[in-house]
Amino acid sequence: MATVQEKEYVAQVSKKLKKEQRALGYRRLKSNYGLLIGATIFVVLVILALIGPLFTNYGPYDMKVVDRLTPPGAEHWLGTDEFGRDLLTRLLYGARVSISVGLAVALLSSALGLVIGVYATYYKTLDHILMRICDGLIAIPGILLAIALMAALGASALNVIIALTIVFTPNIARVVRSAALVVREQTYIEAMHVQGASSTRIIWQHIVPNVLSPLLVQATFVFAEAIISEAALSFLGAGIPAPEASWGNILQASKLVIYKAWWMVVFPGATLVLSVLSLNLLGDGLRDLLDPRVKQKFRKR
Amino acid sequence: MNKEPLLEVKNLKTHFHTERGKLTAVNGVSFSMNTGDIIGIVGESGSGKSVMSQSIMRLLDHTDAIEYEGEVIFENQNLLSLPHSKLRAIRGDQISMIFQDPLTSLSPVYTIGNQIGEAIRLHQKKSKKEAHQQAIEILRMTGIPSPEIRVNEYPHQLSGGMQQRAMIAMALSCEPKLLIADEPTTALDVTIQAQILELIADLNRKMGMGVLFITHDLGVVSEICTGVKVMYLGQIVEEAPTEQLFQTPLHPYTQGLIQSIPKLEGDRDDELYVIEGTVPSLTDIPQGCGFSTRCPYADELCRTSEPPMQTAQTDHRVKCWHYEALNKQEGRETTVGTSS
Residue-wise pLDDT tens digits, A4-25: 787 788 788 878 888 888 888 8
A contacts of B121 (beta carbons < 8 Å)? none
B contacts of A122 (beta carbons < 8 Å)? 62
Indicate whether A104 pLDDT > 90. Answer: yes
Exposure b/e, A45-62, CB count within 10 A at least 16 = b: beebbeebbeebebebee
pLDDT band at A101 (very low <50, low <70, confident <90, very high): very high
A contacts of B90 (beta carbons < 8 Å)? 196
Residue B2: its pLDDT value, please? 59
Indicate whether B249 pLDDT > 50. Answer: yes
Size of interface A-B (CB pairs under 8 A): 73
pLDDT > 70 fraction of chain A, expressed in percent and rounded:
95
Q: What is the mean pLDDT of residues B103-128?
A: 88
Indicate whether B33 pLDDT > 80. Answer: yes
Of the residues A9, A193, A215, the best mutation for testing chain B's interface (the one with the most B CB atoms within 10 Å of its CB) is A193
B93 CB near a chain A CB, below 8 Å? yes
Closest chain B residue to the Cα of A188, Cα to Cα: B105
B58 CB near a chain A CB, below 8 Å? no
Indicate whether B43 pLDDT > 80. Answer: yes
Exposed (0-12), middle (13-18) or buried (19+): which is A188, by Cβ within 10 Å?
buried
ipTM of the modeled complex: 0.78
The string of pLDDT tens digits covering residues A131-143 is: 999 999 999 998 8
Q: What is the mean pLDDT of residues A145-160?
A: 90
Measured between alpha carbons, how far is residue B302 from residues B46, B233, B291, B297, B307 in Å? 21, 15, 9, 9, 7
pLDDT band at B149 (very low <50, low <70, confident <90, very high): confident
A contacts of B62 (beta carbons < 8 Å)? 122
User: How far apart are the C-alpha atoms of A192 and B110, rounded to whole Å?
Assistant: 13
Residue B329: its pLDDT value, please? 57
B63 CB near a chain A CB, below 8 Å? no
Q: What is the mean pLDDT of residues B44-64?
A: 83
Indicate whether A301 pLDDT > 60. Answer: no
User: How far apart are the C-alpha atoms of A267 and A80, rounded to whole Å?
Assistant: 11
- Asked if B148's CB is within 8 angstroms of A2's CB, the reply is yes
Indicate whether B1 pLDDT > 60. Answer: no
pLDDT band at B211 (very low <50, low <70, confident <90, very high): very high
Indicate whether B340 pLDDT > 60. Answer: no
The larger pLDDT score, comparing residue A288 to residue A158, is at: A158
Query: Averaging pLDDT over each range in A134-143, B59-68, B156-165, which range is the top one?
Result: A134-143
Residue B330: its pLDDT value, please? 53
Helices and strands (H and E) in chain B: how many: 12, 12
Measured between alpha carbons, how far is residue A272 from residues A106, A145, A225, A226, B72 in Å? 17, 22, 11, 11, 65
The string of pLDDT tens digits covering residues A281-297 is: 999 888 888 775 554 44
pLDDT > 90 fraction of chain B, expressed in percent and rounded:
9
pLDDT > 70 fraction of chain B, expressed in percent and rounded:
95
- Asked if B170's CB is within 8 angstroms of A191's CB, the reply is yes
- Asked if A7's CB is within 8 angstroms of B170's CB, the reply is no
- What integer best gives the mean pLDDT of chain A? 86
- Asked if A124's CB is within 8 angstroms of B64's CB, the reply is yes
Q: What is the mean pLDDT of residues B67-83?
A: 88
- What integer best gives the mean pLDDT of chain B? 84
This prediction's pTM = 0.80
User: How far apart are the C-alpha atoms of A298 and A294, rounded to whole Å?
Assistant: 7
User: How far apart are the C-alpha atoms of B210 and B133, rounded to whole Å?
Assistant: 26
